């Protein structure tokens, strides 16, 4: 089973180049934005992985708080790692989103509800790392950090689904076609789905890597001369 998971994770070495080739060479350009529309194959998967990473960190936090018998070790550290990956992906989402905004709307930042929401999410998770830093060395660090992550996860639906619907938005049903509706042909859909799968596998790969580093650091901390 472990062997299968390892192979699945290593598929990222194939999936990512395939996604890049498909996004730039195979998928046709959209009618209105032309080649600029190719950013969708990176922006949407980055945003998806950001939310996925934050939800995983929230779920791990719930399990950490409910796990009174300590059956799963290092869950608070794992939720921290997932939040860190989520934060990095959110920064990339903001960057690709602002490039797309410049191409579509003429300026990098417009305070559109979706742009605003992603900034809120970014700030919430930056605040989480500030809280973790302030709690360094305290026994309550894991519990308080996990509680904050759950509160943060609980606010995600408000930012992702609710705010863009109650505040007027520039964010179109994607301005990539003349009639300003979502229309993607089969090649575009396949490329987007491949990108979503590739970035999700990349997340799993990074998450696993960070967890392994965390375990190694912990072991070195316990046995500082083990490597000698």
Partner 1 sequence: MSLAKKNSAEEGSVLVRDILRNLQKDFRVEFRSRFAVNIAVSFAGIVTISISLTAGGAPFPVKVQSILLWVVLFFSAMNGLAHIFVREEDQGTSLFLRITRSADSIYISKFIFNQIFMMIIGTVVTPLFVFFVGVDVIHVLHFIMSVIAGGFSIAASTTPLAAMAAKAGGKGSLFTIISFPILLPVLWISISSTAGALNEARPESGTVIFLLAFSGFITAISILLFRFIWLEN
User: What does the block give as tokens for 20?
Assistant: 């890049």
Instruction: Name which position in 25, 69, 71, 139 contacts partner 1 (CB under 8 A).
Output: 139
* Rounded distance between C-alpha atoms, residue 8 and residue 2, angstroms: 10
30: which strand partners?
34
Query: Mask: binding to partner 1, 167-186, rule CB under 8 A, as x and -?
Result: x-------------------
Please, are residues 201 and 76 in contact by the beta-carbon 8 Å criterion? no
Question: Rule CB under 8 A: which of 53-82 touch partner 1?
Answer: 65
**Number of residues near partner 1 (by CB under 8 A):** 31
Q: What beta strand segments (E) does the chain contain? A: none
Instruction: Name which position in 140, 179, 222, 224 contacts partner 1 (CB under 8 A).
Output: 140
Residue with the two structure tokens 């080649």? 35
Cα angle: 75, vertex 43, 83; to 5 degrees: 15
Instruction: Name which position in 166, 182, 226, 227 contacts partner 1 (CB under 8 A).
Output: 166
Chain positions contacting partner 1, by CB under 8 A: 65, 116, 120, 123-124, 126-128, 130-131, 134-135, 138-140, 143-144, 146-148, 150-152, 154-155, 158-159, 162-163, 166-167
């Amino acid at each position: 089973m472990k062997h299968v998971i390892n192979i699945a994770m290593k598929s990222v070495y194939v999936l990512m180049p395939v996604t890049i080739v498909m996004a730039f060479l195979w998928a046709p350009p959209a009618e209105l934005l032309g080649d600029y529309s190719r950013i969708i194959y990176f922006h949407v998967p980055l945003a998806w992985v950001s939310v996925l990473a934050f939800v995983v960190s929230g779920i791990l936090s719930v399990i950490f708080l409910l796990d009174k018998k300590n059956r799963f070790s290092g869950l608070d550290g794992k939720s921290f790692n997932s939040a860190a990956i989520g934060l990095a992906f959110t920064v990339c989402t903001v960057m690709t989103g602002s490039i797309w905004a410049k191409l579509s709307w003429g300026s990098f930042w417009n305070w559109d509800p979706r742009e605003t929401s992603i900034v809120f999410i970014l700030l919430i998770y930056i605040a989480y790392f500030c809280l973790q830093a302030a709690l360094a060395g305290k026994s309550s660090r894991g519990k308080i950090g996990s509680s904050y992550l759950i509160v943060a996860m609980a606010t995600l639906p408000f930012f992702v689904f609710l705010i863009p619907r109650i505040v007027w938005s520039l964010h179109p049903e994607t301005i990539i076609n003349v009639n300003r509706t979502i229309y993607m042909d089969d090649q575009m859909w396949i490329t987007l789905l491949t990108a979503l799968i590739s970035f999700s596998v990349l997340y799993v790969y990074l998450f696993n890597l960070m967890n392994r580093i965390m375990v190694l650091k912990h072991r070195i901390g316990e046995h500082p001369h083990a490597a000698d």
